Amino acid sequence: MKKKKESREEIELPEKIEANLENGLLKIKGKKGETQRNFFHPKIKLSLEGRKIVVASKEKGKKGKKMVGTYVAHIKNMFKGVEQGHSYKLKICSGHFPMNVKVSGKELVVTNFLGEKVSRRTTIKGDANVKVDGQIITVESPDKEIAGQVAADIEKLTKISNRDLRIFQDGIYIIEKGNKPIR
């Protein structure tokens, strides 16, 4: 019978990126901003050794290896976010009524959606930056989860019910995630 090994991976910090680890809270700083994430799990040990982040699992076998791989993927997403940022693009589609979309403070306001008198509003979470340029809305943030959640909130804002969706195709739809177009 084979002995199962403990899983361990080392991630080299890219240049111009600073990392700080305190009680499972990993903070990463770069040119696009700062992001932080709580990495507390009783069977995963995260440590900072010089310019390396070491992720090790007390769990042996496949389960430990999967958990280490997940943590490594999250950390690499944090690196990408503070170096390049995460961006989503949404398109404003209005076929029946001219829809107006604007950003005021930490709120996105959609007026005259399907001729409604009351404006639809959503708050912009975290440090996400939202820009409206003609028919394209751009959401950017160093945190991948915040950028995705803000884009999803904007898309959900114009959800249509009680109408034939084949005819009423008005709304705001995600068309691009991180420079990758969506079908």
Q: What integer pLDDT is reported at residue 2 of this predicted model?
A: 63
Q: Would you state the pLDDT for residue 137?
A: 95
- Could you tell me which CATH number the domain at 86-181 has? 3.90.930.12
Report pLDDT for 55.
Answer: 92
pLDDT of residue 68: 92
The residues of the chain that CATH labels 3.90.930.12 are 6-83, 86-181
113 Cβ partners below 8 Å, 6+ apart? 94, 97, 99, 120, 158, 170
- Cα–Cα distance between 181 and 183 in angstroms, integer? 7
| Cα dihedral sign, 114-117-118-123 | positive
Q: How far apart are CA 89 and CA 176, in angstroms?
A: 5
Mean pLDDT in consecutive groups of 10 residues from the start of the chain, 183 residues: 75 91 91 90 89 89 90 93 93 86 92 87 92 94 94 90 75 87 76
Amino acid sitting at position 82: V
Structure tokens at 126: 């975290």
Cα distance between residue 23 and residue 40, in whole Å? 8
Q: Give me the architecture of the 6-83 domain, per CATH.
A: Alpha-Beta Complex (3.90)
pLDDT for the residue numbered 3: 66
